Amino acid sequence: MLLHEQVVPVLEAAAADVYVCVLDSESLGWAFAIADKLRQALPTFRIRVHAGGGKLKNQLKRADQSGARFALLVGADEMAAGAPSLKYLREDREQQSLDLPALVQALAAAGV
């Protein structure tokens, strides 16, 4: 095992820039669609979608551990409004509900 680790270094998962937290199973498809649109609009951003379910608190903990600067909260209310919530993980700023064009603009302004 030690020889294998020396020959093939352990690769850590690349940190995310945006971590998408999915609040309920009904919103998972919309979360993947939002993530795909963000990847197209912001190709330099690394976007990870949480697909394992679980409580928001645990998902935010994983978002923090991933090194993400932003968490995107996607649930039934956000889906109905057409506006996911953007939570700043590394800055002391208010959470915002933004439609897709405003979300792309906010993330682009923040940069990677």
Express each pLDDT in 56-108 by its tens digit: 999 999 999 999 999 999 999 999 999 999 999 999 999 999 999 999 999 99
Per CATH, the homologous superfamily of domain 13-110 is: Anticodon-binding domain (3.40.50.800)
Which pLDDT score is estimated for 52?
Answer: 85
- Give, for 93, the enclosing helix (H) or strand (E): none
Query: Who's near 72: CB < 8 A, 6+ residues apart?
Result: 18, 19, 20, 21, 31, 34, 84, 85, 86, 87, 103
Mean pLDDT of the chain: 90
**Segment 46-59 mean pLDDT:** 93
Q: Structural domain boundaries of the chain?
A: 13-110
More confident residue, 53 or 93: 93
For residue 12, pLDDT beyond 60: no
What integer pLDDT is reported at residue 55 of this predicted model? Answer: 95
Angle at 11 between CA 9 and CA 15, to 5 degrees: 155
Count the Cβ atoms, other than its own, within 10 Å of residue 13: 9
- Give the rounded percent of residues in the chain with a pLDDT score beyond 90: 81
pLDDT at 15: 82
pLDDT band of 11, cuts 50, 70, 90: very low
Statement: residue 13 has pLDDT above 60 = no
CB proximity list for 51: less than 8 A, separation 6 or greater: 22, 28
